[in-house]
A and B are shown apart, each in its own frame.
Chain A
Amino acid sequence: MLVHPEPHRRESPAGEENIHLKVDSLGKSYHGRGAVLADVTFSVARSEAVALIGGNGSGKSTLLRCCLGLVEPDEGEIFFLRQSIASLSEPQLRRVRSRVGLIFQRHNLVPRLSVLTNVVHGAMGRKGGMRTWRHCMAPQALREEAMACLAKVGLSHLAASRADQLSGGESQRIAIARALMQQPDFIMADEPVASLDPKVGREVMELFVDLIREENITLLYISHDLEHALQYSNRLLALRRGQLVINGPTQDFSKGDLNAIYH
């Protein structure tokens, strides 16, 4: 299949009430860089796993950050569960964010703190306050919940270890446990396995996707690995120079089609 010269907008089959995230005519420019995103429109249905691909500088990370209100778009609107992000007050935006897990490429764990504390931080949005600063200050139920999240990623034996003494694969699993601790209904991941070797990357990706399916969480992830994009998603989005050039079911695309967007 050829890459569509015009945005291929085959929306997910879900009805409007089942739309989890809707991005409508989104545009963003940075001073001196021109348009990073131009007229990007798509939606993600509940429990969908959507892969977002594109070359370096195509606007993928900006798109993810716009979706979480970390970057303000110049044009267009973003709706989470039919609520416009732009219309939310800061506390309302915090509440929305608390239900969206974001997995970073660089893990972004707090160094020097224990693994358990880092996982407890995941409850900061829904619990807040000093109870989530350190695991020793957290109520017993929260500590046990964090241990359960660690058990899900198979690293409960590292609970007392320092976060900055872990391997890349372990750090990313802890970041996944922290995201699970949020009790999210949506997870976004920005190249979650880009810093890992292929074997560990595959293991982490499989664990990640299995957990998300088990918990019925909606997933939007950026990947530079086309095999990962094809294997773990049921819908594909592709950006080229800030424009959405692919938006369709994963089974409609081959690796060759996807390679074309990098040329």
Chain B
Amino acid sequence: MPSITESRPMPHAHLPGRFERPPAWQFLLYVLGLAFFLWSLKGSGLSLTDLMRGIPNMARLLREMSPPDLGRMASISKALLQTFQMGLVGAVVGIAISFVLAVLASRRNTPHPLVYVVTRFIIAFCRSVPDLVWAVMFVASVGLGVFAGTLTIIVDTVGFCGRFFAEAMEEVDPGPEEALRVIGGRRLDIVLASIVPAAMPSFVNSSLFALEKAVRSSVVLGLVGAGGIGIELKVAMDMFQYQEAATIILCIFFLVIVVEQFSTLARRKFM
């Protein structure tokens, strides 16, 4: 019996080349892109000389930071806890809002195309404005403190999770959804009984990343007055209290590592 290759005529006589020659306009774009990057290297101020010159200063700073000053450990711990609480509550509330918006912003679930456009716009707007800009706006609106920070994290999480949740729901196998539609399920029943469970691993993954991101953000937000340990770090650095700043940095490092480890464990358990 002849083999498959023997019995069938070969439709392509020529072996295609390993690489395709790009069209002229594409080649021109590559060249322009490379030229812009080289120009940006200059614009970004990247300098090996300055870096080498800065190393002794960095070494001096590290010397001045050690040993870390544990004298204000109680108030630093309180600020650290407040930072974590801000990140946690901001992330959880943001995830809940993201879920509702994502259902409306996924093509398969949206009740109306206009609702889809509006919710997509809200999510894109939340995502495209950087968190520090949100923080400055909220500090100006609701005053200095953790509330402004929590609001910032909520909005930032909506921008991050809203998009990923909507995409996860659009990517799930449509088969089970069709099965429940045929059974006579209502739209909400189908979303919650079929689409959400199928997209759950992706939801959990995005939510854990959002929590990690929220905790890291909550540290930085203090620098613009949005509460948390960031403000403690800023004050310590401004007052040249480098040993105290070292304690704060180590505490931040500890918090971020603990959250990341928890996140890794939770991901491993759930996925």
Interface residues on B, range: 20 to 34
With known contacts A106-B175, A111-B176, A121-B193, A100–B182 Cβ distance under 8 A: yes
Q: Does A126 contact B (CB under 8 A)?
A: yes
Closest to A96 in B: B184
Closest A residue by C-beta to B185: A124
- Using known A-B contacts A70-B178, A121-B180, A124-B180, determine if residue A110 contacts B194 with beta carbons closer than 8 Å: yes
Other-chain residue from A97, A104, A128, A182 in contact with B189 (beta carbon distance below 8 A): A128
Give chain B residues whose Cβ lies under 8 Å from the Cβ of A125: 183-185
With contact pairs A110-B193, A132-B193 given, residues A98 and B198 touching in the complex (Cβ less than 8 Å):
no
CA distance A113 to B179 in the complex (A): 15
Residues of chain A within 8 A of B181, CB atoms compared: 70, 97
B46 CB to nearest A CB, Å? 47
Q: Is the CB of B176 within 8 A of A128?
A: no
Q: Given A70-B178, A121-B193, does the pair A111, B183 have CB atoms closer than 8 Å? A: no
Which residue of the partner chain, among B173, B179, B180, B192, contacts A130 with CB atoms under 8 Å?
B192
Distance in Å: Cβ of B189 to nearest Cβ of chain A: 6
Q: Which of A114-128 contact B (CB under 8 A)?
A: 121-122, 124-126, 128
Of the candidates B182, B186, B197, B201, the one whose C-beta lies within 8 Å of that of A110 is B197
Among A124, A130, A132, A178: residue with most chain B CB under 10 A: A124
- A residues in contact with B185, CB < 8 Å: 94, 121, 124-125, 128, 132
Question: Which B positions have Cβ atoms within 8 angstroms of A?
Answer: 173, 175-176, 178-186, 189, 192-194, 197-198, 200-201
Q: A104-B175, A124-B183, A128-B189 are in contact. List 13 more A-B contacts (CB 8 A).
A: A94-B184, A97-B183, A98-B184, A106-B175, A110-B193, A110-B197, A112-B197, A112-B198, A112-B200, A121-B183, A121-B185, A124-B185, A132-B193
